[in-house]
Amino acid sequence: MALYKRKDSPYWWFSYKVDGIRVFQSSDTTDKDLAEKIYHVKRAQLIEGKNFPIRTKMKLSLMIDLYLNDYSKSSKKSYVNDITISKTILSYFKDCLLNDITPHKIELYRGYRLKSVSKARTNRELAFLRHLFTKAIEWGKWAGENLVKRVKPFREERKPERYLSHEERIRLFKSSVEFLKPIILTALKTGMRQGEILKLKWEDVDLERAVIFVKDTKGSKLRQLPIHAELLFVLSNIPRKSIYVFCDAQEKSFKRNGIFRGAFERAVKEAKIPNFTFHDLRHTFASELIMKGVDVKTVQEYLGHSTIAITERYLHVAPDQKRSSIQLLSREGVNPCYAGVTLRFEKVIRNGREYYKIPNNSIFSASGRVAELADAQDLKS
């Protein structure tokens, strides 16, 4: 009988050989008699060729090293972030075996992380662990199902889309240090992602044709972006002291953290713009195009979205535009809600915007009789 106890587990364990490889499995029970029955059932399933989890003595740390060096480093743009996530996972699970990571322990990890980071960040970490197990299965380092898939990710609440008003743009530029201003302008006039801008090389900028070629993209698809006249002037006056358009004192590209991040966060704080991130500059670009009548397909191509469904989340309408568009229903001067009653509006222009008000807060009937309307208070100028 191959039942045994482990110091780090309250349950009974058993082991057996599969194709010459010793595998280990927990019975998930402290009852020895029940554990023995489970062992015999598993053995019978193995003999019958049924699929059930078979766990090998692969350490989590070793699998992470294999994943990072043999896959993430060469295939993922998020390699640096994967390193950070892997350190977080190892600090919690320690140097355990893959078969020690059960759905219950993953649930505990999920709750533990939620105390210090957001649901979105926790989901990214679970996604890393889930794909780690997927690769372990593909590479023959783990036999059986991907247990991480049993743990459902948190439902992420999407925050309201944020975009800059004209006044906020002015304040942001005024509060920014000099090296940051052309970077912000590039984001506002091209909609490029932060990483795409910071890695932009002069060889990908054609000033004569006024085109930027975005090669290092999220979807690995080449994009051609026309250069706005204002941005063209700024780019033409940037000294070419590096292969990168935007570089630090060592002529290297700016990193997401460090000097660049600190400068941007200080600028946003000084400009008194709440709840604003660098990615919101991309959203501002898309929002402005939509509000000025550019079709969704064109915006999708500028942003580099794989499907138009992703672009549609940018299709919100600014509150000012909503108020302006709804007035189109009333400019004929007739309100059908009042039988035989005509509303006479007076056009008023303030700060370059059109407003319509009822003179003296009155409704004029066809006979000329004035009827004071108590609920017309909100129409006062």
Please say if the pLDDT value at position 380 is more than 80.
no
Phi, then psi, of 15 in degrees rounded to 5: -140, 160
pLDDT confidence of residue 173: 93
Which pLDDT does position 197 carry in this prediction?
92
Residue 25: which H helix or E strand, with range? strand 21-26
| Residue listed under structure tokens 């100028």 | 381
**Superfamily per CATH, domain 166-316:** Intergrase catalytic core (1.10.443.10)
**Which are the contacts of 57, defined by CB distance < 8 A and separation ≥ 6?**
22, 24, 97, 99
Domain boundaries, the chain: 3-48, 60-150, 166-316, 322-379
For 340-375, what is each residue's pLDDT tens digit? 444 455 566 666 665 545 455 443 333 333 333 333
Which residues, including other chains, have CB under 8 Å from residue 87's CB and lie 6 or more apart? none
Domains 60-150 and 166-316 fall in the same CATH topology? no
42-83 per-position pLDDT tens digit: 777 766 655 444 455 788 999 999 999 999 998 887 888 999
Provide the H-helix boundaries in 14-96: 32-48, 60-67, 73-75, 79-93
Q: Are 38 and 27 in contact (CB under 8 A)?
A: yes
Average the pLDDT over 95-100 and give the result: 84
User: What is the pTM assigned to this prediction?
Assistant: 0.57
Is 1.10.150 the CATH number for 60-150?
Answer: yes
DSSP string over 226-283: EPPHHHHHHHHTS---SSBSSB-TTS-BPPSSTHHHHHHHHHHHHTT--S--THHHHH
The mean of the pLDDT values for the chain is: 78
Q: Cα–Cα distance between 338 and 328 in angstroms, integer?
A: 18
DSSP-assigned beta bridge partners for residue 357: 346
